[in-house]
Amino acid sequence: MNNRSAAIFLGLFLSLAAWCLFAADKLRLDDVVYLDDFMSKPIELKALKATPLTFSRDGNGVIDTIGARQSVRLIGIGPERYLVQARVTNGRAEGWVLPSSMEPIPESLLKDIEKKSAAAEKVKEAISRGEIEIGMTEEDVIKILGTTREKSQVKDINGSFDQWTYTTYKKVAYTVQSLVNGTNSWTTTLFRNVPVGHKIVSFQDKKVVRFENKQDDPNQKQQRGQTIVPPIEVQ
């Protein structure tokens, strides 16, 4: 391999290594607060001085240099570095910068971020428990209860609502007896899904404002032939 080929190979190798490092860091990290989870408008910061934009948050793999007073978009806040999007020589790129190299985030905005971050974390925990919380989005509800065809619009003294209704079920055991060879009796226990109530989620502006878990009257006579496979089961 001549020097020119070796140089080309080395350049391709370094580019591939840098891309792999960048792709790995594009994964969402548990200790980083990602602003697009709860902020509707992007936050712009200016660099106080020329500072490197790196692939990795440990400062390795420099993408380009951000110029003094250059504006960047804040993507995430990590323990030691900010994840930002900035204009670079070949377009735009996301990378990591030191907070000390950027103008400080206004105190009022920082408090708002902390408040919304805590609320977003609360919603994530509720989703993991399968519980509906006021303020959840339609997407959050779908993650917990799935989709439903029972959607309607209702009005009351509090205004207009988009209402989603989910039928809930429980498994009820029943037995079937059969004869084997005309003499021996064989009993089999089976289960069927019986509707027992409804979960009703009300939305305003695509956010949950009310949640009801209604149980049917157990004394109400069930009509035969209404048992179906449900989207939700109550154990």
**pLDDT at residue 231, as a whole number:** 46
Within a 13 Å sphere around the CA of 78, how many CA atoms are in the beta-carbon half? Answer: 17
- pLDDT tens sequence across 132-179: 999 899 999 999 999 999 999 999 888 899 999 999 999 999 888 877
Name the band, by pLDDT with cuts 50, 70 and 90, for residue 199.
very high
Is 8 or 209 the better-scoring residue by pLDDT?
Answer: 209
**pLDDT at residue 5, as a whole number:** 57
Using a cut of 0.75, tell me whether the model's pTM lies above it. no
Helices (H), ranges, the chain:
3-25, 107-129, 138-145
For 39, counting Cβ atoms within 10 Å of its Cβ (0-12 exposed, 13-18 middle, 19+ buried), the class is middle
Residue 136 makes CB contacts below 8 A (sequence gap 6+) with 123, 126, 207, 208
| pLDDT tops 50 at residue 14 | no
* One-letter amino acid of 24: A
The mean pLDDT of 125-132, rounded to a whole number, is 93
> Taking all residues of the chain, what is their mean pLDDT, rounded to a whole number?
82
What's the CA gap between 173 and 189, in Å, rounded? 7
**pLDDT at residue 219, as a whole number:** 64
Count the Cβ atoms, other than its own, within 10 Å of residue 80. Answer: 11
Residue 180 makes CB contacts below 8 A (sequence gap 6+) with 186
Domains of the chain plus CATH, in order, are 29-129 (2.30.30.40), 130-215 (3.30.1450)
Lowest mean pLDDT, pick from 22-36, 69-83, 187-201: 22-36
> Do residues 7 and 51 touch, judged by C-beta distance below 8 A?
no
- pLDDT tens sequence across 84-117: 999 999 899 999 999 999 999 988 888 888 888 8
